[in-house]
Amino acid sequence: MSTKRELTVELGERSYPIYIGEGLIDEAGELFAKHGISKKSPLLIITDDEVAPRHLAHLNDVLSGAGFKVSTAIVPAGESSKSLAKLEELVTQALQAGLDRKSAIVALGGGVVGDLAGFVAASYMRGVKFVQVPTTILAHDSSVGGKVAVNHPLAKNIIGAFHQPELVLYDLLTLQTLPQRQISAGLSEVVKHGLIWDAEFVAWCDDHAEQLCALDHEALSYALYKGCSVKAAVVSEDERENGLRAILNLGHTIGHALEAVAGYNELLHGEAISIGMIGSARLAVALGAPEEIYNVTKRVLTKVGLPIRLPAHLDTDAIMEAMQHDKKFQEGTMVFIVPAAIGKVEINTQVSASLVREIVEQLKQEA
């Protein structure tokens, strides 16, 4: 049995705990009760159709056994479920299940289910309690910060809210069923949290990449703990995204553009961000930072199984165009999160678009 870890996301009266450990779903009854989830009002577990056959019965049994009134709703797996249409369907299900103001919505799944269920919780009866039971590595990122949203056909995550959970329950056993590609994609944001904040943690990832890819519980538990801790530290200082929180976007300016141009099927988010972080490292070096930034970034991302080369068939003009839609773009220059050292980034508001174009071209040659 690996160590059970716990951290608190410090947000004043909205503070909440994240529990990380092996077999934690077995303790869901006690933990839910401890954090004020009602046994009198019905709760709704929202999950997707890939997670449901693997983990829903377990959570349902534990909570029902502990005396909670449980209903469940299953949405199709994938980003397309983050829609207003799904939100409406889920509200229908919540009403039919008799959820009231004291009820809770439980997200069992990855970031898609977390964002969708979180937005249901934020909007149902003007807001009910929310619990996250993340089942992907990537969801360590979405479990901190309280951003919940659905997509609009014209823009991702554009209809949403800030809604903090009551608790997050990360059971490492659920991660054992993740496909390898999803494991690596999730580790991308783990490494990102190191790169923006904690050089020692980057070195640790470098040394433990193999264990992480093999889902070794001790390694995974530490990595999720560190990833959540860094995000929590950033978010605690800037809950509503006024400043510091921008550093979480390392690799995302290029990454989002790649996702948009490639279509959301070719590259997973974590894969696009990996390529984006290589781009940021190249940018840093081009602006005079030590070569080591690029070397270490590339080594660690490669070791955890992530792509570093930008697929050559993606059109550079289209990528540049997509970045200019990015809210971080300003006339002729771009705002970029640029590493200053491993574990430290700066917000550079003066990066020339022509340099970015060069970097994009270089990323197609990456080997």
CA dihedral 29, 33, 35, 39 (to 10 degrees): 110
> Among 72-80, 88-96, 322-330, 341-349, which window interacts with ligand NAD (CB under 6 A)?
72-80
Amino acid at the residue 38: S
157 binds ligand NAD (CB under 6 A): yes
Q: Which residues contact 286 (CB under 8 A, 6 or more apart)?
A: 355, 358, 359
Q: From the CB of 312, what's the least distance to ligand NAD, in Å?
A: 25
193 is annotated as an active-site residue: no
299 is annotated as an active-site residue: no
Cα 334 from Cα 359, distance rounded (Å) = 13
Q: Which of 126, 240, 313, 327 is catalytic?
A: 126
Q: From the CB of 342, what's the least distance to ligand NAD, in Å?
A: 22
Q: Which of 22, 166, 189, 259 is catalytic?
A: 189
Q: Which of 147, 192, 226, 328 is catalytic?
A: 147
Q: From the CB of 33, what's the least distance to ligand NAD, in Å?
A: 25
240 is annotated as an active-site residue: no
Q: Which is nearer to ligand NAD, 147 or 303 (CB)?
A: 147
232 binds ligand NAD (CB under 6 A): no
Inter-axis angle of helices 316-325 and 252-262, to 10 degrees? Answer: 120
Cα 66 from Cα 60, distance rounded (Å) = 10
189 is annotated as an active-site residue: yes
Q: Of 31, 25, 51, 29, nearest to 117 (Cα)?
A: 51
Q: Of 81, 53, 56, nearest to 70 (Cα)?
A: 56
249 is annotated as an active-site residue: yes
241 is annotated as an active-site residue: yes
Cα 61 from Cα 344, distance rounded (Å) = 45
Cα 193 from Cα 268, distance rounded (Å) = 18
Q: From the CB of 87, what's the least distance to ligand NAD, in Å?
A: 14
111 binds ligand NAD (CB under 6 A): yes
> Among 25-33, 84-92, 133-141, 308-316, which window interacts with ligand NAD (CB under 6 A)?
133-141
183 binds ligand NAD (CB under 6 A): no
Inter-axis angle of helices 84-96 and 111-123, to 10 degrees? Answer: 60
217 is annotated as an active-site residue: no
**Of 4, 14, 35, 54, which one interacts with ligand NAD (CB under 6 A)?**
54
Max CA distance (Å), the chain? 61
Strand residue runs (E) in 163-290: 167-171
> Among 78-86, 87-95, 122-130, 344-352, which window interacts with ligand NAD (CB under 6 A)?
78-86
Other beta carbons within 10 Å of 95 = 12
101 is annotated as an active-site residue: no
Tokens 């999720």 sit on residue: 224
Show which residues are catalytic: 126, 147, 189, 231, 241, 245, 249, 252, 256, 269
Binding-site ranges for ligand NAD (CB under 6 A)? 48, 50-51, 54, 77-79, 82, 109-113, 115, 135-136, 138-139, 141-142, 145, 147, 157, 174-175, 177-178, 182, 269
